[in-house]
C-alpha cells in the first residue's frame, strides 16, 4: 500500500484541526478554528502547501474556512463523525483494483489478463479490507492513540462474511 505525501500531510492537518476542536471550542476564529500558518509551523510544511491541502479538504466538506483578515480553518463536524476513510478518499484514496490493473498493461492498452485475471480478486480483497478499516476509524480515536483494528470483519462486496485467511480452492 502506498500513501502519498498529500495523504500523510493531509491527515496530519486534519489531526491538528481535531486537536484544536477538542481543546479550544471558543477560539478567536470561532469554535475549533486554527490559523493556516500555525498548522504549517507545527507540521513543518509551507503555508502554501497547507492551504492547498485544506482547500482540497474543504471541497469535500471535511473542513471549512473562517473568513477574516487572519483567516483560518476548522472541521465541519465533530472529529468523531469524520472517518479516516473519508479523509483518505478526499485526498486521493487507496486505488481500486481497476486502477491497479490499468497501471500495469505492459505494451498493451489493456492488460492481457483483463478477462481472466487471477490477481484481480486479490487486489479487490486488499482494497476492500483497507477501505473497511479506514472507514471504521474515527479521527477522534487517532488523537488518543486508542485505535484497535483487530476486530474488523472482512465482508465481500455482496455483504457476505468472508474468512480473514485465504483458503486454497478445492
168 pLDDT exceeds 50?
no
Angle at 95 between CA 91 and CA 100, to 5 degrees: 150
**How confident is the model over 109-121, as a mean pLDDT?**
76
- Most confident by average pLDDT, 48-57, 127-136, 149-158: 48-57
Residue 62 lies in a domain: yes
Whole-angstrom distance, CA of residue 83 vs CA of residue 150: 17
Residue 58 lies in a domain: yes
Q: How confident is the model at residue 131 (pLDDT cuts 50, 70, 90)?
A: confident
Residue 49 lies in a domain: yes
The total of structural domains in the chain comes to 1
**How confident is the model over 58-63, as a mean pLDDT?**
96
14 pLDDT exceeds 50?
yes
pTM: 0.77
Residue 44 lies in a domain: yes
48: domain CATH number is: 1.10.10.10
Residue 23 lies in a domain: yes
Q: How confident is the model at residue 166 (pLDDT cuts 50, 70, 90)?
A: very low
Contact by Cβ (8 Å): 37, 114:
no
Domain that residue 28 falls in: 5-144
Q: What pLDDT is recorded for position 27?
A: 45
Amino acid at each position: 500500500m502506498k500513501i502519498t505525501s498529500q495523504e500523510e500531510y493531509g491527515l496530519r492537518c486534519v489531526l491538528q484541526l481535531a486537536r484544536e476542536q477538542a481543546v479550544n471550542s471558543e477560539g478567536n476564529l470561532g469554535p475549533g478554528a486554527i490559523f493556516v500558518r500555525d498548522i504549517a509551523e507545527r507540521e513543518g510544511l509551507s503555508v502554501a502547501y497547507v492551504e492547498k491541502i485544506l482547500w482540497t479538504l474543504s471541497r469535500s466538506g471535511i473542513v471549512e474556512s473562517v473568513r477574516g483578515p487572519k483567516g483560518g480553518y476548522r472541521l465541519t463536524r465533530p472529529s468523531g463523525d469524520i472517518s479516516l476513510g473519508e479523509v483518505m478518499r478526499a485526498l486521493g484514496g487507496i486505488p481500486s483494483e481497476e486502477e491497479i490493473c490499468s497501471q500495469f498493461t505492459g505494451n498493451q492498452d489493456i492488460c492481457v489478463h483483463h478477462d481472466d485475471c487471477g490477481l484481480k480478486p486479490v487486489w479487490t480483497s486488499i482494497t476492500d479490507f483497507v477501505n473497511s478499516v479506514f472507514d471504521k476509524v474515527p479521527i477522534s480515536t487517532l488523537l488518543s492513540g486508542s485505535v484497535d483494528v483487530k476486530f474488523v470483519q472482512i465482508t465481500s462486496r455482496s455483504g457476505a462474511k468472508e474468512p480473514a485467511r485465504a483458503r486454497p480452492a478445492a
